[in-house]
Amino acid sequence: MTSEGSNTTAITLRTPVKDDGFRLHQLVAECPPLDPNSIYCNLLQCSHFAETGVAAEKEGDLVGFISGYIPPQQPDTVFVWQVAVHEKGRGQGLAKRMLKEIVGRDACKNVTHMETTITEDNEASWALFRSFARDMGAELTYHEHFEKETHFGGQHDSEFLLRIGPFTKPA
């Protein structure tokens, strides 16, 4: 648990459970501009992919969540699907703390790299992953991965694939 600053209440990090699925759906809806997924998808993120996700609670509220998975073709990589931090959890380094929690898990014992996709204008995400890479002493590379017209039919901005690594686990 953490309790940085005098106006903060401890935020607890834990492995998600399927009962978090609907709560995750609500959290994402309260964190624009995140893309919502179906409730069913959120249930799978909280059950099938729980070991590579993290739920953050503050006073019983879900204030943060990261969904991720290890791609079958890349057992050394954890792919971060989505990072959500509610305004109640902001300003405390929660997103980076959740990233470190995931790579420290037993499920990620063979993980030496992290990947994610980010739109060019998502400054908060770029800053988060650059800071995480610095903390991990790892290189960050990126390239356009999902193109606006080709992959999204012009309905979503292009996504850049970031790759961080290699890194070693925090002590």
pLDDT, residue 2, reads 37
- Full set of structural domains in the chain with CATH: 12-165 (3.40.630.30)
pLDDT, residue 118, reads 95
- Residue ranges in 8-119 assigned as alpha helix (H): 21-29, 39-47, 94-103
pLDDT band (50, 70, 90) for residue 1:
very low
What rounded mean pLDDT belongs to the chain? 91
pLDDT, residue 157, reads 82
The full 3-state SS of 102-119, as one line of letters, equals HHCCHHHCCCCEEEEEEE
For residue range 30-84, list pLDDT tens digits in order. Answer: 998 888 999 999 999 999 999 999 999 999 999 999 999 999 999 999 999 999 9
Q: How many CB atoms lie within 10 A of CB 10?
A: 11
For residue range 58-73, list pLDDT tens digits in order. Answer: 999 999 999 999 999 9
The pairing of beta strand 113-119 with beta strand 77-85 = parallel
Please list, residue by residue across 22-36, b when 16 or more beta carbons sit within 10 angstroms of its beta carbon and e when fewer do.
Answer: ebbbebbeebeeeee
